[in-house]
Amino acid sequence: MASTSQPPFPATELLDELRTILLFTADFLAMTRSAEAAATFIGFDSEQYHSEPLSRVALDSFRIAPTMTVIYDYAFQVGEARHFNEDLLQDANIFIEGVPRVGGQDHQGGETHPYMTEDGTCRRAITTANARWKLESPTPSELSVRELALLANMTEGAVRNALAAAGIKAKGSRTFVDVAFAREWLAGRRSFVPTTCWEYTPDAAQLDIRTARTVSDLSLALTRRAEQKGLSVAALATASTVVPERTAAWLTGTPDLDIATAVALATALDLDPALVAGRTVELLLRQSS
């Protein structure tokens, strides 16, 4: 019952909330250190940063911005989810626990914002990513009702009802289930999006081929695609009708300038023949020049 549903909120909302957090952080720095420190951090001067337009925050100046983008993509299995790793998740966890819980300076001190609650978009994405990683990690773990609700795109009340129907008695917000049960239970939820970002799909392979800088990069993409399809050198040779020796050469970084071979291998790997052939010719010519 896997789903390909859209994320519960667009990435633009998360990035706007991130800008808000950074503005509140600038207010905090101005209050605790100095106006100069705040301006250096955020990139401009203000007497009340939290009231500034979000458009003034240049996210490309902040390392946390691409981190949060990957966290969002991994949580909801979109975009560049395959760039996720545990270090990024740890950075995101530390970031969200360290943001100001109240903002403003002087007479405007005491400002609050939804990002400070568990329903803030940044926290929701991070919590969902944590929950998804628990499903994948070899470390034994448990998932909370909230984590199940976020992964299944359900309300916590609906999750508790479903758990009760499965014979698991809920005890307030402290109810947890082990990962094995969570995997099986989520697999039966229509709105659950399984983790697929590690699959080396044709689109992923073709992106790597388009951006390959060397012949070896291209061969690696072909090799990974063959592995994803479960094809050995011999099996790929059979599927493509390319002799095994030539097939092996293409997968180990020594392809030849043979368009027919490129087309045959690409077709067997469900890749765009024109892309594979064209990039092979280009990279071989660059290598020889």
Contact 124, 115 (CB under 8 A): no
Q: Return the pLDDT at 1.
A: 45
Compute the CA torsion angle 89, 92, 97, 101 (nearest 10 deg). Answer: -150
Helix (H) or strand (E) holding 143: strand 142-144
Mean pLDDT of the chain: 93
List pLDDT tens digits, range 195-245. Answer: 988 888 898 899 999 999 999 999 999 999 999 999 999 999 999 999 999
The confidence score (pLDDT) of residue 139 equals: 86
Residue 45 pLDDT greater than 50, yes or no? yes
161, two tokens: 């009802």
Output the pTM of the full model: 0.76
Q: What is the pLDDT of residues 133-158, one digit of tens each?
A: 999 998 889 999 999 999 999 999 99
Residues in CB range of 22: below 8 A, 6 or more apart: 41, 42, 57, 62
SS3 178: strand
Backbone torsion region of residue 270, taken as left when φ is above 0, otherwise alpha when ψ lies between -120 and 50, otherwise beta:
left
The domains located in the chain, with CATH, are 1-195 (no CATH), 202-288 (1.10.260.40)
For the record, the structure tokens of 48 come out as 């009340």
**What is the model's pLDDT at position 173?**
57
Q: What is the largest CA-CA distance in the chain?
A: 78
Q: Is 169 a residue whose pLDDT tops 50?
A: yes
If pLDDT is split at 50, 70 and 90, which confidence band does 19 have?
A: very high
> Which H/E stretch holds residue 177?
strand 176-178
